[in-house]
Amino acid sequence: EMRKVKDEKRLDGYAKNINTLAATLEAEVNKNIFFATSSKYGSALEAALASQEVPTSVYENLINTTNKNLAPLQRYISLRKKILKVDKVHAYDMGVDLMGTYKFDRSYEDAKKIMIDGLAPLGSAYGDVVKKALNENWIDVYATPQRLDSEYSWSAYDVHPFVLMSYTGDFDDVSSLAYELGTTISTYCASKTQPYDKAKVSGLAGSVAATTNEIMVTKYLIDHAKTNKEKLFLMNGLIGIYQNIFYEQVLGVEFEQEIHKIVEQGDTLTPETLNALWKELESKYYGADYEVDDYASVEWATNLLFYRNFFTCQFPIGMAAANELSQNILDKKPGAVEDYQAFLNSGNSYDPIRTLKNAGVNMNTQQPIDNVIKEFDSLVTDMEKLMKEEGMI
C-alpha cells in the first residue's frame, strides 16, 4: 500500500497537468509530420529513421518479432508475482528488490578492478583504453554540490572524453560506469582512427558500445558471485537491463508509432486517447498477471524521449546488437574481438547498420532480435531454477 501511495504521488503532478501535456505532445507530433511531409517522406517515422540511417525494415522487424515473443517478459512478470505473493503485479511492484536484505556495495577501487577484469575479453587494445580512462582522470567520480547529479559521457574531437558519475557503490552505479565507459571508448577510438568528418559516433553505435559493456560486466559479476544470494541479485539486475533497454523501449517505440498514425489520420491526441493507448500497450506486453492502474496510465507523460522523434528506437536495436556482439566475444568466436574493435574504430565511415553487419550482426534479419529474447528467457529460467533450489518459491 505504501508503494502505491508513493507512486500515486509521483504521477499526481502529471495527472493535474494532463491536458497541457497531451497538447504539448500533439504539437511535437505535428512538428515531426510537418518536417517529414516538407521533405517528401511518406511518414514521420520514415523521416526519423532516415536521419538515424536506419532502414524502416529494421524497425518493422523489431516491432513484429517482439510482438510475437512477449511470453518471456510475461513469464518474468509471473515470477515476480509469485515471489512478491501478490494477486497482480502493478507498476509500483516492478522496482521491488526480489532479494530483500541482500546489499550490493563496491568501493570505486573495487569497481575499477571489475571494469578491467570484466572487459578483458574485449582484447588488450580495448583494455589499455579502459585503464587510461580509469587512471588518468577521465572520470569525475563523485557528486558534489557544484555540479549536476547525473551520469553521462562528453567528448570532443582529438581530446579524450570525460565521464561524469555520481558514484555511491550500488549495482546501478557499477552498471552505469560500465555503460558510460562504453560510450567514452567508442568516441575515443573513432577520434583516434578517423578524420574529423568521419569521427562522430551515431546514437545507435554509441548505444551498442555502452550496452555491450554493461552486459559484459554484469555477466562477469554473475560468474564471480560468492553466494547464491549475490548471484540471484545480479541475475535479476541483468534481467532488468534487458527488460528496460529492450522490451520497455520497444513498447515506447510502438507508442510513438501509434500516436503519429493517429495524428497523420487527422485525429486529435486527447488525454483519454493517450492514456487508453498506454494502458492497452502495457497490458499487451506484460500480460495477465500485470494490472495497469488507472492513475498509472499517465506514465507516458513522464517520458521525455517522446519529444525526440523516434530517438527511442536506437535503444532496443542497440540492445539486440550488443547481445549478439558480447555473446560472440564471450564464446570466443574467431575474429569477434577484432571485428568489434573495427566497429569501434569506424566512427561514421558507414551507416550504423552496415557497420554492425561488418562486425557480424545483420540487423536486417530476425536473428539478433530472436537471440536477445532467447537470452532474456534463459536468464529468467536460470533465476527461477536457482530460486527453487534456495527455497524462495
Q: CA 263 to CA 211: how far, in whole Å?
A: 33
What is the maximum alpha-carbon separation in the chain? 61
- How would you classify the pairing of strands 152-156 and 159-164? antiparallel
Bridge partners, 164 (sequence order) = 140, 152
CA distances from 365 to 36, 141, 294, 371, 382 (A): 27, 40, 38, 11, 27
Q: What's the grid cell of residue 31?
A: 512538428
Alpha helices in 265-351 (DSSP H): 271-286, 314-330, 336-345
Q: CA 299 to CA 142: how far, in whole Å?
A: 31
Q: CA 103 to CA 305: how far, in whole Å?
A: 32
Catalytic positions: 180
Q: CA 316 to CA 245: how far, in whole Å?
A: 6
Contact partners, residue 90, CB within 8 Å, separation at least 6: 4, 7, 290, 291, 293, 296
Q: CA 279 to CA 252: how far, in whole Å?
A: 12
The answer to whether the CB of 309 falls within 8 A of the CB of 253 is no
Q: 10 Å Cβ neighbour count for 209? A: 27
The answer to whether the CB of 26 falls within 8 A of the CB of 269 is yes
Alpha helices in the chain (DSSP H): 2-16, 18-38, 44-51, 56-67, 71-84, 108-118, 124-135, 171-193, 203-223, 228-242, 248-264, 271-286, 314-330, 336-345, 352-358, 367-389
Phi and psi for 119 in degrees, rounded to 5? -100, 5
Q: What's the grid cell of residue 318?
A: 542497440
